[in-house]
Chains A and B, each alone.
Chain A
Amino acid sequence: MTSVADPAQVAEVPSEPLVDKGLVKWHLTAAIFFMVTAMTWGFLVSLQFFGHYPFEGISFLSYGRVRLLHTNEIAYGFLVNGFVGCMYYAIPRMTGKSVASSKLGWLIFGVWQFIIVAMSVGQLLGFGQGVEWGETPTGFRPGTWELQYIPVDFLIELGAVLVAIQFLTPIVKSVRKHQYVSLWYLTAGMIWLILTYVMGNTLPEWTLAGTSGAATVGLFIHDLVGLFVTPMGWGLMYFFVPVILRKPIWSHALSVIGFWALAFFYPLNGVHHFLLSSIPMSVQYGAIISTMAVEIVVTTVVVNFFATMWGRGDALRTNLPIRWFFTGMICYFITCLQCMFHTTLTMQEIIHFTDWVPGHAHLVMLGVFAFWIMGMTTWLWPRLTGSDWHNRRLNHWHYWLTVIGLVIMFGDLTAAGLVHGYMLAALSPWMEIVRAMHGFWVIRTFAGGMIVAGQLCFAWNMYKTCTGEVKPYDYRVDLATVEA
């Protein structure tokens, strides 16, 4: 078969100054590094559940501290670095303008990695604060202005502001009458990150006491998910899916409805983390209702993605990034459907304080957003290094190990949560529950091991692609698919 145009004419190799590939590359490298670190610690600490943790008895590496490391490095080390890296590629290509400054970019990169390291060390030293998913040390003695440690909270706020300046510059410069939905999402995500972070890391610490503080913390947790991670993930998906499929999204109208519905329904969700607590019931009901309403938002994205895929089902077999996106989208649908049901008080009575919750959290953060970032990295890396993947087969190992590991982990933790919940409801003695959970926890560790192994395959492949022998990689091939 012949193509209508000469591939040489079609090839639009991105001009160098538009995208600073170095920044993309290093942010993605940092993202994968912190992901592997965080997952390794998660794997190790899961051994403690059945008494095989190698660092038993060392206070720095005790469960209560390493757990923070696991969740926070994923949030700030992996997700933020991954999103920022992909934005360095996506935003200049969408706006046609470079980011504010490459120097600023390297400053942000340096500051951000310093923040992650300082955060991790601070948490291991015991300076973590009691804000779930935001245990980044304030650095101050609680409730006072006496400095004990590096004020990581404020550095993160500074970093978030710098990121916003960096990326809003090209977006503002290119504002037109119609802005593509990705830019809506990414712009909002960057601004919401700053606001959310300030809310969660100043109000409970200095002003709001008791349940008000707790309610604010609840809002923070889910606003970080809903007003930062989600819009970033969707914004980038709305860019990468059409680019990789070479096919526009199915419905622009639907994408914009999704955006405004997100902005409208998501902010109130957070209190659903503290259902059946002493927070006023009106607030709890509000959280439940808005959580269910988020389903509307989710549907727009899911429908738009699958409708965009229509007619390109072959890409699932031939195109690994699309397969990652597709798998992530299925996980996304499951997670959100699950969310709609387990946010009800009826179901909370059973699953609250059980392993159901980490099961759900892994499905959404690993199964959805990490899968999407992995897909984007799989697609971007050859373009950044100018060399084809060192070993494509390893990428498939990465995919299958991670996906199978996640499915096992999610199924296992969900089942464990139900067993645990019903045992709690039956007032079983604590030790009985621990005995009943033993098998589930062993399986969870096994699944975690598979996931870590998958990431190691990927990290090694990235390293070899970057440093090993250059395999010629032709951009033109991407644009004009030829018969192999």
Chain B
Amino acid sequence: MRSMTRPGPLLHVLAILALVVPAALLLSSRDVPAQEGDAGGRVGLTLADWPAGPAAARGRVVYDKYCVGCHGSSGMGDGTASRWLNPAPRNFQSGNFKFRSTESGQLPTEADLMHVITCGLAGSAMPGFPLVPEQERRDVARYVMHLATLGLGQREVRYLMEEEELSLDEIRAEHLEVIRAGAEQRVASVKTIPIPVAPPITAALIAQGKQVFDTQCAACHGATGRGDGSSSYTLRDYKDDEIRPRDFTTGVFRAGSTPQDLYLRLRAGLSGTPMPAIPGSDEEIWAQVYYILSLRDPDAQTTYVPQVCGGEDPQR
């Protein structure tokens, strides 16, 4: 039997290439260019310019423990794991929050964030964190709001730099206070959408919902609600990633499947996605909600029972 020969120089070169090339690819792909709408990009304010209150400062510690892996160290949705996730993690600095109880285009309330942090987003990589103490979850919610205001500030800074041609140092010295106050004002001025009392589910209401659905929703969500409407494959979100409309027949809704949750989704729209806030009377909205629920379960009138998050499943 022939003894093993020493590896020749070609083999060395190949081995080095085998190590270096993937490593280089891996590293180079980290430098994702800043995208339209993700406020600030690489030039702009940092967290150091934007002092956090005590709650948000505590929240940052919690954030760096549980959230940073996906959402990234400055909340841009660019954590280590983000590359493999679909849907991608939220970029908090973009100011786009899908699941809100506030009017279209506004920031969410702390309660909205708490719901997502506690219950997670079903059918995505975002888990619920009900086992994290409530105080820590509240602090994280505050920190996420803090990141969102930083994002708002970034936009102002970029405007001043591009249009007024001010330097970053000038802005820091002269305009930061005003910018900060403006961002805080945006947080304070959100208007929550009141949820009216849900009417009883009736066949007539569902039929009415179907009418509205067929004219307004079917283009994206499809005639049967499977998320396969004619324009469904062309949609893009705020990161310019492809995004698909919800398939209502799965019965899985990211941030809760109660009629009240769906009411808010329709009324408020999903920021950063093509889903707009839906105008119309309360009755029309409820009709659509019930029709959407009936797509999943035709007997929704009598048997529909939503999954409500929080607390333990009494079945276990």
Contact = CB atoms under 8 A, between A and B. Distances in A.
Interface of A: 1-5, 7, 9-10, 244, 246-247, 310-315, 317-321, 378-379, 392, 395, 477-484
A110 to B, nearest CB: 32
Interface string B276-310: 00000000000000000100000000111111111
B8 interface: no
Given A5-B305, A320-B316, A313 B120 contact: yes
A320 B293 CA distance: 28
Interface in B232-271: 250-252, 256, 258-260
B87 interface: no
Contact of B258 (A1, A315, A478): A1
Contacts of B310: 483-484
Given A318-B313, A478-B315, A479-B305, A4 B123 contact: no
Given A318-B316, A392-B316, A310 B252 contact: yes
Contacts of B165: none
Contacts, number: 90
B176 interface: no
B248 to A, nearest CB: 13
A4 B122 contact: no
B315 A4 contact: no
Contact of B314 (A312, A321, A481): A481
A324 B304 CA distance: 26
B122 A311 contact: yes
20 contacts: A3-B258, A4-B258, A4-B305, A4-B306, A10-B302, A244-B315, A246-B307, A310-B123, A311-B122, A311-B123, A311-B252, A312-B307, A313-B127, A314-B128, A318-B316, A320-B316, A321-B316, A378-B316, A379-B315, A481-B305
A5 B304 contact: yes
B109 to A, nearest CB: 16
Given A1-B308, A4-B201, A311-B250, A477 B122 contact: no
Interface string B109-125: 00000000001101100
A310 B315 CA distance: 19
Nearest to B257: A311
B313 A247 contact: no
Contacts of B127: 313-314
A432 to B, nearest CB: 27
Interface residues of B, number: 33
B197 to A, nearest CB: 9
Contacts of B258: 1-4
A2 B197 CA distance: 10
A318 B122 contact: no
B252 A484 contact: no
Q: Which of A9, A246, A378, A379 has the most CB of B within 10 A?
A: A246
Interface in B118-142: 119-120, 122-123, 127-128, 130-131
Given A5-B302, A481-B305, A483-B308, A312 B122 contact: yes
B312 A318 contact: yes
A477 B313 CA distance: 9
A431 to B, nearest CB: 32
A6 to B, nearest CB: 10
Contacts of B196: none
A483 B130 CA distance: 13
Nearest to B249: A248
Contacts of A9: 302
Contact of B313 (A1, A2, A10, A481): A481
Nearest to A310: B123
A314 to B, nearest CB: 6
Interface string B190-224: 00000000100100000000000000000000000
Nearest to B293: A4
Contacts of B123: 310-311
A484 B303 contact: no
B22 interface: no
B251 A247 contact: yes
Contact of A3 (B128, B251, B302, B305): B305
Q: Which of A4, A7, A482 has the most CB of B within 10 A?
A: A4
B244 to A, nearest CB: 14
A395 B256 CA distance: 29
A76 to B, nearest CB: 30
Contacts of B120: 313-314
Nearest to B123: A311
A330 B128 CA distance: 22
B250 A314 contact: no
B316 A4 contact: no
B315 A321 contact: yes
Contacts of B311: 482-484
Contacts of B128: 314
Q: Which of B303, B304, B307, B310 has the most CB of A within 10 A?
A: B307
Contacts of B309: 314
Contacts of A483: 308, 310-311
Contacts of B306: 1, 3-4
Q: Which of B120, B201, B304, B305 has the most CB of A within 10 A?
A: B305
Contacts of B252: 310-312
A376 to B, nearest CB: 12
8 closest Cβ pairs, A-B complex = A484-B311, A311-B252, A318-B313, A311-B122, A311-B123, A320-B316, A319-B313, A477-B314
A319 B312 CA distance: 8
B206 to A, nearest CB: 12
Contacts of A246: 305, 307
